[in-house]
Amino acid sequence: FPGILSNPKLELVQRSLNVVMNQNVTLCCCSASGSPPVRYTLFKHNQQVSSLNRSDSTPALFTLTISSASDVGPYKCKAEHNTSSDGKYSNSLNFTLIEPISKPVLSSPTSQTTKGQNVTLSCFSENGSLPITYIFFKGKQSISPPVMMHEREAAVIFLFVNSSTDSGTYKCKANNSFPNSMKYSNSFNFTLAEERSHSQALIISLGLILLLLVIGFALAIPFFIIPSYKASE
């Protein structure tokens, strides 16, 4: 009689359970104890996918293609002797389907600022597998540590505008676990509004007063100068 089979172990031959669309993966199923021959059957959602017979102690290898979201699992395998109706089931495995990120969008509630003002910058990728890591740049220099977002939300940083150099060109970078998925955003520039000095304000005020005096004098001519001229005739 064949030896009693142990529960088989289902393992992934590749290193990661993260997969991309149309990727081929290989699952390995094997019982540590039990004499051959052994029949191994792979299941997905309790539906049979494939079966392999082994006449020795070598594991059963099942190659799959992840072609849709329904192919991520869960998977289990069953080991049984041909002479026995009682099979043993393995652990369960699930894949995680990862998708590339879309180009991030860099934005701010305002595009014009003044010295001494606090402003915010937001970076957001609408599509792509979570988590997504964002980094903000001014020119080619990073101005923030990596910000990892586990929800479909924008990464936000706060800036203090201290000089005209702070109105430079800003960008952000987004990245996730998809291979070579790094993408940069559009460029964003703040417009620094020039603050008027006290002397400029005084000059403008004096100019307005002078303009009002000229207008007042022009309006007074018909009432004072012309009657006086007629009286002297």
Sequential pLDDT tens for the chain (233 residues): 557 889 999 999 977 888 988 899 999 999 988 888 899 999 999 899 999 999 888 999 999 999 888 899 999 999 998 766 678 999 999 999 899 999 999 999 988 888 888 899 999 999 999 999 999 999 999 999 999 999 999 999 999 888 878 888 999 999 998 888 899 999 999 887 764 444 455 667 777 787 777 776 677 677 665 565 555 55
Whole-Å CA distances, 105 to 109, 121, 188, 206: 13, 10, 10, 47
Whole-Å CA distances, 101 to 53, 98, 217: 42, 9, 70
DSSP β-bridge partners for residue 25: 64
Q: Which domains does the chain have, with CATH numbers?
A: 8-97 (2.60.40.10), 105-192 (2.60.40.10)
Cβ atoms of 8 and 34 within 8 Å: the answer is no
Cβ atoms of 44 and 75 within 8 Å: the answer is yes
Give dist(CA 40, CA 29) in Å, integer. 7
The one-letter code for the residue type at 13 is V
